[in-house]
Structure 1
Amino acid sequence: FILNVITILRLFLTKLKTLWYSHNASDKTSPLTNWQGERRRVSQNLTLRCEQNTMFENVSGFHSLSPMIQDFLYYRHCRSFPIILDLPDKCGGDDEPEDVFLLLVIKSSPKNYERREALRKTWAAERSYKGKVIRRIFITGTEGSGFEEEKLNKLVRWEHQHYNDILQWDFKDSFFNLTLKQILFLEWMDRRCPQARFLLNGDDDVFAHTDNMVEYLQSLKDNNGNKHLFTGHLLKNALPVRNPENKYFVPLQVYEEEVFPPYCGGGGYLLSGYTALAIYKISVSVEIIPIDDVYMGMCLAVMKLKPDSHMGVKTLYWHIPSRQVDKYDPCYLKDLLLLHKFMPSDLYFLWQEVRNPNLPCIVTHYSLLF
């Protein structure tokens, strides 16, 4: 009898805890408590939905790999992670979908607050340009541990409440999870924003001339986002890095082929809504590798779709053939689409300068045609 009473009391207390967390999670006046309750919930779901695949321990050479790569292989199959911050109405919602011409999808980490602020006030500002709607989304996971993680995610939550521009999932935001971040976004797009005509997919440290992008996309013949487009800094015949000391090291246990398929550098590229959703649908059958831009090329290769080169996109390097011209001269940048990498302070300056109609430039020295 006593054991039965104890069991009933335990069940009752568990129910009270559940109700308490549920009540606090719905309290919009307490962002930290709200986030903590949500974090507990999604962590419990994650434990149930994604288990470690220990079969990889039998793969030759597994134990010689770094803990980071081992961890990637253990959870490589996991593609479904709970969403912490959502944007259900970013594209107008189901009842009144908005005609989004260019959706800016920017990969960011929770700690990169200054970068996000700079982008919101420069090239990633939500607006209409020449009658075409531009919308912005930052995609991120979680970062840090303990108090640091709570602090960073509280900051992200406040940003989200103020700007309504962050998608966050409950997975570790790391270099090895960039591909996962892309897949989760495409899943979200398929559900929440399938009508977006074109996308810019890029990092939070690039300079993107979004006005030029709209003009370029408007100039396409017979493609209003309903046909294939994937263009950027094209890389062909790239070899997997087999040096374990390199950041981009890809061991044979992760990717066996000797050459990567053609792909565009992940700093930034443009693609149509048609191609984005096609990649999402085929991605279920393409095994994840940690290099996200290569993975997109792998998906395109399976569908026999080709990525294209655009001379206005420079994600790896760029060169001005004159020692008398500053590398960041706005006269050079004003005709490009995208360059990588920039500090937030440089972005403020350049965005104002390249859009200055009175910028004094010698056309013959700087002009770069699309």
Structure 2
Amino acid sequence: MRRIKSRTILLVVTFGLLVLYICKDLSDHKTNFLQINVGEEDSQARQATTKTSYVYSWPRCQQNVSAANVTGFSSLPGNIQNFLYFQHCRHFPMLLDLPDKCGGADQSAEVFLLLVIKSAPENYDRREVLRKTWAKGRLQNGVWIQRIFISGTASSGFEKERQNKLLELEQREYNDILQWDFQDSFYNLTLKQILFLEWMERNCPNARFLLNGDDDVFANTDNMVEFLQGLKDNDGSKHLFTGHLIQYVGPIRSSGSKYFVPVQVQESEAYPPYCGGGGFLLSGYTAMVIYNMSHSIPFLPIDDVYMGMCLAKAGLGPVHHIGVRTAGMHIPSNKLDYYDPCFYREILLVHRFLPANMYLMWQRLHDPYLKCKHKQIPL
């Protein structure tokens, strides 16, 4: 009798240990959730108590060592080699999340214009100015504007640790940062875009429209709301993708160029039509189409071209908007002030503004006593 009891106890203990082992193994390979503290949006953040949320995390993607077997691999620049090693990676651990930014997936249709701003961790001064100017979360013309900065990390070491802490502090105060644990670099901008769209599908699928842009653009979001509200029969549920249209171009094969794309990355000599990545407007519908198309299109390191590739596969295309100037503003005479606010009253977006000029332009455009002799956007 005692032998039977002993064997029974041994079987129970063994079974229990087996279950614990299986659970641990599954937890090492499936997504997991980490608690963080996030505050409320903008001015309410300082008064609000922090609330517990969860970060959606994936296992770290490993490099594809077989990429080194590509013909001519050893002669490629280091950034291209690194891109090829990790070109297959679509998921990275999330460090900072905003699961309730749009009021939850079910309430996300209340967000009329979602500002999705690409920002490297070190660009604190740019983010601070944007929060005070065109990217301020607010009710505009009766509709809601919300802001999100999307970021990766510094490469490694103490710098990565410091910058991650900086973003964490910003998150506590402003609740406006999405961050993943991948190296924030020019050739990883496509990865950043797709990671955001994955987040959007999960947390903000019904946002009406998006501005996708860099943190050094001046965006007249007042004008954007007016433009989007004036669209006929499109509340964000139909195709829209507009900005500075670029077409009839192909990969730059010069290794000294920032935009260098060798044949090992793309053999074709032609790009589809696309809009300059400094900033473009798109509907929530089109954002989800791009995300769905991206599942079957290998990453290209030039993010704006990749958006065009996804549109082309869906049978859709971008259109030009005269008010989007990602190549900068053309002022008709060097005797005129490039930063005269009257040139910017009707534009939607201009690329490459320093933070001080950004702040000043926003204030001057909202001066009720501003008087302009010239009203047109310079061509």
Instruction: Please give the range of the TM-score, normalised by the shorter of the 2 chains.
Output: 0.7 to 0.9
Cα deviation digits, residues 60-104 of structure 1 (max 9, x gap): 111110121111101100001111100010000146445000000
Q: How does 1:326-345 map to 2 (within 5 A)?
A: 326-345=337-356
8 A Cα contact 1:42 1:170, kept in partner: no
Q: Distance in 1 between matches of 2:227 and 2:137?
A: 18
Aligned to 1:213: 224
SS at 1:227's partner residue?
A: coil
Aligned to 2:161: 150
The change in CA–CA distance for 1:150 and 1:317 in structure 2 (over 3 A counts) is same
Q: Distance in 2 between matches of 1:95 and 1:105?
A: 20
Q: Distance in 2 between matches of 1:94 and 1:293?
A: 27
Q: Distance in 2 between matches of 1:179 and 1:144?
A: 17
For residue 276 of structure 2, the aligned residue among 262, 265, 276 is: 265
The change in CA–CA distance for 1:92 and 1:369 in structure 2 (over 3 A counts) is farther
8 A Cα contact 2:329 2:378, kept in partner: no
Confirm or deny that 1:226 pairs with 2:237: yes
Confirm or deny that 1:351 pairs with 2:362: yes
For residue 366 of structure 1, the aligned residue among 354, 375, 378 is: 375
Q: Distance in 2 between matches of 1:298 and 1:97?
A: 27
Q: Distance in 1 between matches of 2:270 and 2:329?
A: 25
Q: Distance in 2 between matches of 1:183 and 1:223?
A: 24
8 A Cα contact 1:334 1:355, kept in partner: no
Confirm or deny that 1:108 pairs with 2:122: no
For residue 317 of structure 2, the aligned residue among 293, 306, 324 is: 306
Aligned to 2:15: none
Cα deviation digits, residues 90-142 of structure 1 (max 9, x gap): 00014644500000000001100000000000000000111010000000011
Give, in angstroms, the shift of residue 57 of structure 1. 2.1
Q: How does 1:229-268 map to 2 (within 5 A)?
A: 229-268=240-279
Aligned to 2:207: 196
Higher alpha-carbon Rg: 2
8 A Cα contact 1:335 1:369, kept in partner: no
SS at 2:244's partner residue?
A: strand
Cα deviation digits, residues 115-172 of structure 1 (max 9, x gap): 0000000000000111010000000011142111111100100001110000001111
Query: How many residues are paired up?
Result: 335
Give, in angstroms, the shift of residue 209 of structure 1. 0.1
SS at 2:277's partner residue?
A: strand
Query: For structure 1, which runs of at least 5 residues remain unmatched after alignment?
Result: 1-14, 16-24, 30-37
Q: How does 1:30-45 map to 2 (within 5 A)?
A: 45=59
The change in CA–CA distance for 1:124 and 1:28 in structure 2 (over 3 A counts) is closer
Q: How does 1:128-207 map to 2 (within 5 A)?
A: 128-207=139-218
Q: Which moved more, 1:185-194 or 1:90-99?
A: 90-99
8 A Cα contact 2:237 2:284, kept in partner: yes
Q: Distance in 2 between matches of 1:230 and 1:150?
A: 37
Q: Distance in 1 between matches of 2:93 and 2:176?
A: 18
Aligned to 2:12: none
Q: Distance in 2 between matches of 1:111 and 1:139?
A: 12
The two structures have a TM-score, normalised by structure 1, of 0.86
Query: For structure 2, which runs of at least 5 residues remain unmatched after alignment?
Result: 1-23, 25-33, 39-53
8 A Cα contact 2:331 2:378, kept in partner: no
Aligned to 2:73: 62
Q: Distance in 2 between matches of 1:327 and 1:26?
A: 48
The change in CA–CA distance for 1:369 and 1:271 in structure 2 (over 3 A counts) is farther
8 A Cα contact 2:37 2:172, kept in partner: no
Q: Distance in 2 between matches of 1:189 and 1:28?
A: 21
Q: Distance in 1 between matches of 2:250 and 2:107?
A: 46
Q: Distance in 2 between matches of 1:94 and 1:216?
A: 25
Q: Distance in 2 between matches of 1:198 and 1:102?
A: 5
